[in-house]
Amino acid sequence: MPQDPEADSYEHLGFLLLLGLLTVGVVFVVWPFATPLLWAALAAIMFQPLFQWFLVRLANGPNKAAIATLLFITFVVLLPGFFIGSMIVEQAAGVVRAFQQGDLDVASWGDQILGALPAVIREQMDAYGLADLQDVQARAQELLTESAGLIAQQAIAIGGGVFSFVLSFLMGLYVAYFLLRDGKKIGEAIQCGLPLDNSIAAKLAERFLLIVRATIKGSVVVGLVQGGLGAITFWIVGIEAALLLGLLMAIFSLLPAVGTGIVWLPMSIYLLASGYIWEGVFVIVSGVAVIGMADNVLRPILVGRDTGIPDWIILVTTLGGIATMGLSGVVLGPLLAGLFLAGWGIAQEYLLHHNSPPVES
């Protein structure tokens, strides 16, 4: 009996609708754990070479290799990160308390810096009303007072959500285990399931992996290295909040052009204006010759080839990602931008190929 084409189309549409509803339902159910699942997937992609290294050297197949990779991630990456993070939080709280108690006086710092400037520059600043920093001091005090209340609220929230954090942490490790072990099969299944031509799906998967690795290596790893070098620099010159300043440098390293100079340059000026000459000179030399050069040296080695993402897009998507997704946005923002550009690039290649006139023999 011949099939009715109209009935077949309705059945096809109904199946697609059911599949879409089931997909939305699954996303809704797992959404509370979206962040650990995201980082588990990124960790599985980044540490896949280490997994392959263990796979060659350990007997009994991929299970031991996945466990060994997870142990490395936990004890070499996560636990030291938690320890350093707790120290940074402690230093940040100390800075807030110092502002509240008046131990840190922004206006006096400004007066010291202004006093070290040439008279011509001071006169020009006076003419434009830029030499009075009392208003800056008042605003900084107000901002940090509000920040102290926010920090207290967040501390209570974190303390009350310890179980949720531990659950998310363990779930992330559990999912990372299976993604490390079966990641290749899962990737092939996803690629085959995409409603795209096989060649387009293969190109998109290849560029996706390239962009993920380049984004994390070029942004996160390089930023952490620069932040670590900055923390060591500030520790050598005796600044107490060295880890906090190093974290700020790691974050600002994501910004093209200015980068870590937003942190180390004002600190060097303050040290010089306060009479700490060799300390200020040391920070400048380290900022230019060590911290600044680390980006130029490490990025070509770690990233390899260019991902094709302009600096201004990285800046906008990084800040936008932080504003919308928090810490995960540091990676997700540029990653989505890279996939967006890669997708449109593949679409352009596909359209040019299919719209080009046939070659006459």
pLDDT at res. 361: 47
Higher pLDDT, 276 or 109: 276
Other C-beta atoms lying within 10 Å of the C-beta of residue 244:
22
Residue 298 CA to residue 224 CA, distance in Å, equals 11
Residue 326 CA to residue 336 CA, distance in Å, equals 15
Amino acid in the structure at residue 3:
Q
* Residue pair 234/242 in contact by the 8 Å Cβ criterion: yes
Would the pLDDT of 73 be above 60? yes
> For 65-94, what is the mean pLDDT?
84
Residue 232 CA to residue 216 CA, distance in Å, equals 23
pLDDT at res. 261: 85
Rounded to a whole number of angstroms, the distance between the first and last alpha carbons of the chain is 46
Mean predicted lDDT score pLDDT of the chain: 75
Q: Which of 48-57, 96-105, 261-270 has the highest mean pLDDT?
A: 48-57
The tokens describing 90, both together, are: 């402690």
Give per-residue pLDDT as tens, 225-272: 898 999 999 999 988 888 888 888 887 887 766 778 888 888 888 788
Give per-residue pLDDT as tens, 140-179: 556 555 555 555 555 555 555 566 777 888 888 889 999 9
pLDDT at res. 125: 60
Q: Where are the domains of the chain?
A: 32-193, 195-361
Closest among 341, 248, 327 to 39, alpha carbons compared: 327
Higher pLDDT, 134 or 12: 12
pLDDT-derived band at 72 (thresholds 50, 70, 90) equals very high
Higher pLDDT, 124 or 15: 15
pLDDT at res. 236: 93
